[in-house]
Amino acid sequence: MKLFVDTGSIKDIEAVAALGILDGVTTNPSLLAKEPGDFRQNLKRICDIVKGPVSGEVTATDVAGMLRQGREIAKIDDHMVVKVPLTRDGIRACKTLSGEGIRVNVTLVFSAAQAILAAKAGATFVSPFVGRLDDIATNGMDLIREIVDIYDNYEFATEVLVASCRHPIHIVEAARMGADICTCPPAVIDQMFNHPLTSIGLEKFLADWEKSQAARV
């Protein structure tokens, strides 16, 4: 399973990239709005750091505007993926941009029916938001299972990019279901490292080692 980080922060992306486990980045307008500077330059910088798929989202809501912005985003770097919302115009833009060889990530997906539309429009990635479904007392991971099953049935090439991950359990469940990618905030990637027995075990190993070395001098 591929692991993407969901942030527009260059500092955070550099830190996760330095771990050597990062496959890509997702951004959205809310995330990029928090960052200083020109968003195109920021996206270019992110592509240079990650050298994997980097999603940048259109803000137009009509198909003509999405196509114009999508083509501009795609020109930033070969690693750029154009993110469009799951609307009628978004699906039309996805079909056209995909036909031009531009990779598209269809975002704001909350149902299996929507995921079928994204696959049929040639999306490279579909982004179901599990955390936001959990927030409204609906099990987000049930949707991932449905989408993975449906895509398997028809061998759709669209990759399932599990978005809005809030904790490592989302990532583990997504991996067990065979989802292709999880994108999560840097803090959730940090949480993946943590286990109290690792810290306790390491502390004990080092203390025993120190003790034995001290006894030898």
Q: Which residues bind ligand E4P (CB under 6 A)?
A: 6, 26, 28, 107, 127, 129, 131-132, 163-164, 183
* Cα–Cα dist 33/38, whole Å: 10
For residue 127, the minimal CB distance to ligand E4P (Å) is 5
Output 172 or 199, the one with its CB closest to ligand E4P.
Answer: 172
Neighbours of 10 (CB within 10 A): 16
Output 42 or 164, the one with its CB closest to ligand E4P.
Answer: 164
Tokens, residue 217? 């001098």
For residue 47, the minimal CB distance to ligand E4P (Å) is 16
Output 26 or 114, the one with its CB closest to ligand E4P.
Answer: 26
What SS3 state is found at 53?
coil
> Measuring CA to CA, how many Å separate 128 from each of 8, 203, 209?
19, 40, 48
DSSP 129: B
Establish whether 83 is a catalytic residue: yes
For residue 46, the minimal CB distance to ligand E4P (Å) is 13
Element (H, E) at 183: strand 181-184
Residue in 44, 51, 83, 204 annotated catalytic: 83
Amino acid at 93: A
Output 107 or 158, the one with its CB closest to ligand E4P.
Answer: 107
For residue 34, the minimal CB distance to ligand E4P (Å) is 12
Supply the residues annotated as catalytic. 83
